[in-house]
Amino acid sequence: MDFAKVAAKRLGAVVVLLLTLSVLTYALLALAPGGPEEALLGDRASTPETRAAIRALYHLDEPFPVRYWEWLTGALSGDFGSSIYFRQPVLSVIGDRLPVTTTLAGFAILLTLAVGIPAGLAAGLRRSGVLDQGITFSTLVALAFPPFGIALVLLYTFGVALQWVPIYGSDQISNYVLPATALAMGQTAIVIRQTRAAALDVGGQDYVTFAKARGLPRLRIWGSYSLRNAALPVLTVAGLLAAGNLTGAVFVEQAFSLPGLGSLLIQAVNQKDIPLVQALVLLGGAVVIAVNLLVDLAYMVVDPRVRHGASTRAEA
């Protein structure tokens, strides 16, 4: 199989995934108590006329495939309808909150990579040493520590006990330090474990031993052989991290009362603001799917074996 064929296959899978996600998302409307009409009306006073107007506007009297198609074509052209609570187009509500979440997520990813990769390499280089054991145990605790729990402990330590930061307040960048740390902890643990395992695995390979025997400088061995090969398994978890980041952001934003997309989602769920929820779920799912696709494509670029059809991800 050549590159184009493999890439086309992946793209096909992505389309199927996106369609599945959109059907799931659209079906949310039917889940709401009182049915779609009640959900779309919200707490507005309803006369038979307004009800009829709503039914016509959202094609509620049409059969499901037609209704779904109308909604999907609208969504594809950026029209998710109006938020019931905010009485504004859904996209503009999301646009207002987007910067908070992207800042939080970007900050957290930066922290994750800056801490995770060096720590993982350090642990892998000196296997079973005190440092390795310490790092490995720390990752175990970090993985078992729920993000909202970390958020709370950080808030207490730095906000109440030490009084270094205001508990809730302005939207300066320093405000993101604690939330990003809370979000990054679990992900960092995953990156550390993955990097450590990769470093251990690669370190024992024949080509590394051979490179050492040829007398290549250590830096060269690490740069050209070890890191490049170790990058693959680390890349694999990127999709996992994207999903974790999104879900984690919901908890962390809620814990810190940050006005981002995560707390917006929870608010929308509690108010049964279905159009807003649909757009957020579709957006979140699309981000995860896109990251997974990028990971697959990056795999093909980095690893010639994958390009030539030997699958390493599908059977994992």
Minimum Å gap between C-beta 219 and other proteins is 34
- What is the Cα–Cα distance from 93 to 197, expressed in whole angstroms? 43
Nearer to other proteins, 77 or 270 (CB): 270
Closest approach, Cβ 80 to other proteins, in A, equals 15
For other proteins, give the closer residue by CB, 47 or 270: 270
90 or 211, CB closer to other proteins?
Answer: 90
b/e 177-206 (16+ beta carbons within 10 angstroms → b)? bbbbbbbbbbbbbbbbbbbbbbbbebbeee
Please, which residue, 64 or 156, has the CB nearer to other proteins? 156
- Phi and psi dihedrals of 82, rounded to 5? -110, 145
Question: Judged by CB, which is closer to other proteins: 116, or 186?
Answer: 186
List of residues contacting other proteins (CB under 8 A): 17, 20-21, 24, 28, 31-33, 140-141, 143-146, 148-149, 152-153, 155-156, 159-161, 167, 239, 243, 246-247, 250-251, 254-255, 265-266, 269-270, 272, 274, 277, 281, 284-285, 288-289, 292
89 pairs with which residues across the strands? 82
| Least gap, CB of 97 to other proteins (angstroms) | 16
Backbone angles phi, psi at 58, to 5 degrees: -100, 10
Q: How far is the CB of 157 from other proteins (least distance, A)?
A: 10
Report the nearest approach of other proteins to the CB of residue 7 (Å).
Answer: 17
Phi, psi of 89 (to 5 degrees): -55, 140
- 296-304 own/partner pairs: CB under 8 Å, 24+ apart: 296/10, 297/7, 297/10, 298/235, 299/232, 299/235, 300/3, 300/6, 300/7, 302/228, 302/231, 302/232, 302/235, 303/232
Task: Using the minimum distance from each CB to other proteins, give the nearer residue, 168 or 207.
Answer: 168
What is the nearest approach in angstroms of other proteins to the Cβ of residue 251?
Answer: 6
